[in-house]
Chains A and B, each alone.
Chain A
Amino acid sequence: MLEVKKLNVFYGKLQILWDLSMQVGNESVGIFGPNGAGKTTLIHAILGLVKPATGEIILEGESLLAMETDHIIKQGISIVPQDRELFPFMTVAENLRTGNAYIPRARKKYKERLEYVLTMFPILKERLDQPAGSMSGGQQRMVAIGRALMADPKVLILDEPSGGLQPSIVTEVFHRLKEIKNDVSILVTEQNVRQCLKAIDRGYILENGRIAMADTAANLAGNDHIRKSYLGI
């Protein structure tokens, strides 16, 4: 579905990603790595926010490289940004609507998508009229995931979904991810490797801008290097 081939990305003269190749099929895939490994740069490249020097990014056979971000989103990639990037003065309902209103393919299914999101996150149902900016961090994360799902994406990207959340909310978020992965392909970058490995099918280890390892979640959880470096065992 989503394929990244031999991607090289620079910030000025500094190379961030080196010949990076990876793919996401009908599954959930994690990208793990320390700060500065290039996880967010990879996401920015997929979304067209950073233009790669060489390489290819393909969604269902169509190259995304020449497209602007809004076109890429319309093609079927949705993102839950690390900082959530909600519209703070809009209500939850309005935030959810913006996730749907600019995607022609999803717009026709507005009611269906809203019902799906509210079933996934029942707490949002009670807070539809509340300004998003007045909600707690965990609830805002749910709104951000809900807004991304309103676009009926083919691939849902989550950038550090557990960042800044209390442990109970992190568990809740990953629990929801397990349910969502039945309906949409997921690409998630995360530093909370332990929790994330329980929720995904496959994972890549990104170190210094290169793929250092790729395996199933079960194998990664049992790998000595991963256990020592990322799980603290």
Chain B
Amino acid sequence: MINSIVNQFKQRNFLFGFILILAAIILIGIYKPAVLVEGLQRSALYALIALPMALLLGIVDIINLAHGEFMMVGAYFAYFMSAQFGMDPIVSVLPALLIFFIFGLIVYYLTFKHIIGKPPLNQLLLGFGISLILSEGMTAIATNAPRKLSLDYVSSSASIGGVTFGTFEFVYVAGALIVLLGMQLLLKKTATGQAAVAVGQNPRGARVVGINVNNIYLLIFCVSIALISAIGPLFMTRYTLFPQMGSSFTLKSFSLVAVGGMGSITGVVYAALILGMGETLVLSSLKYGKWAEIIYFALIIGVIMYRSHQRQVK
């Protein structure tokens, strides 16, 4: 009985939050339609980058501080494939998936395998070390010079009702939806996905029901690395590359996973929606545009305060 009431309350709370976000989006759409479209695109990019971390950190509790650097390496991979072999960056997503799955396998066996189950500080230091190796390694290979491909199709645009917006960025919306759907299917409909959820909730419990816990860690790590590295090519179609670009995305992804709720894939998407829409709204203001970064900090502080209040109420 009590549980039923608590569940109903949680559902109502969730519904209330959803309605609030939806109402805010509609209001923004009425106030500034261009912000609505650009905000959606920005949110989708954030969600796309944060989702592989949500899988790794939120589901199986592995902290990878080199998350953004793997995306950077994937982006450079696409850049060189395009420069050397003329391969379109969108097409290079497929080989990137395969190559970086294997790269993840090597990184896992050489590093993360040895610190699974150890205190989180080990993972933080290891991730930080790997991020330095990747960014400095890329600097040694490709120099610090910013790089950008000139692609005609990224500047395509459309106009609806007097509002002009870029159409290429919808590739991020499509990408985020595909990754979200794929992850939901993996976690909810497959035995391997359920095993990953079980390992994340209780590794010892997972071991005693016959799950090969080491294989699950390995698989989820490789899937996460393959995904974030394959997002690199999509990212570099629109943005400039430099070896130190990864760290800010690691931080944002980390925060989105924390804000969305550990273990909640859809929560990360909602958090990305709030961050992306908020940033775009502030950026659209000529006077206060430089304050956009504050949205990120306000979101984190707001959620920490809310959760702390909830704990006190309990």
Q: Which residues of A contact B (CB under 8 A)?
A: 47, 49, 68-70, 73-74, 78-79, 81, 85-90, 94, 97-99, 101-103, 130, 134, 147, 151
Asked if B17 CB lies within 8 Å of chain A CBs, one says no
Are A130's CB and B210's CB within 8 A?
no
Question: Nearest chain A CB to B24's CB is how many angstroms away?
Answer: 29
Interface size class of B (residues with CB under 8 A): 10 to 19
* CB–CB B209/A90 < 8 A: no
- A78 surroundings in chain B (CB, below 8 A): 208
Question: Could you jot down 26 A-B contacts, CB within 8 Å?
Answer: A69-B207, A69-B208, A70-B210, A73-B208, A73-B209, A74-B210, A78-B208, A81-B205, A85-B204, A86-B205, A87-B198, A87-B202, A87-B205, A87-B206, A88-B201, A89-B263, A90-B198, A94-B194, A98-B195, A98-B198, A101-B191, A101-B194, A102-B195, A103-B210, A134-B3, A147-B209
Indicate whether A87 sits within 8 Å of B201 (C-beta atoms), given known contacts A69-B207, A102-B209, A130-B3. yes
Q: Check A90 against B195 for contact (C-beta < 8 Å).
A: no
| Least CB distance, A156 to chain B, in whole angstroms | 12
Q: Is B285 an interface residue (CB 8 A)?
A: no
- A residues in contact with B198, CB < 8 Å: 87, 90, 98
B211 interfacial by beta-carbon distance below 8 Å: yes
* Cα A47 to Cα B207 with chains together (Å): 10
How far apart are A87's CB and chain B's nearest CB, in angstroms?
A: 4
Alpha-carbon distance between A74 and B212 when the two chains are bound, in angstroms: 11
Q: Is the CB of B263 within 8 A of A79?
A: no
CB distance from A34 to the nearest CB of B (A): 24
Q: Specify which chain B residues have a CB less than 8 angstroms from the CB of A68 in the assembled complex.
A: 212
Does B176 reach chain A (CB closer than 8 Å)? Answer: no
Bound together, the chains give a CA A101 to CA B202 distance in angstroms of 16
CB of A144 to closest CB in B, whole Å: 9
Min distance, Cβ A107 to any Cβ of chain B, angstroms = 9
- Contact in complex: A81, B201 (CB < 8 Å): no
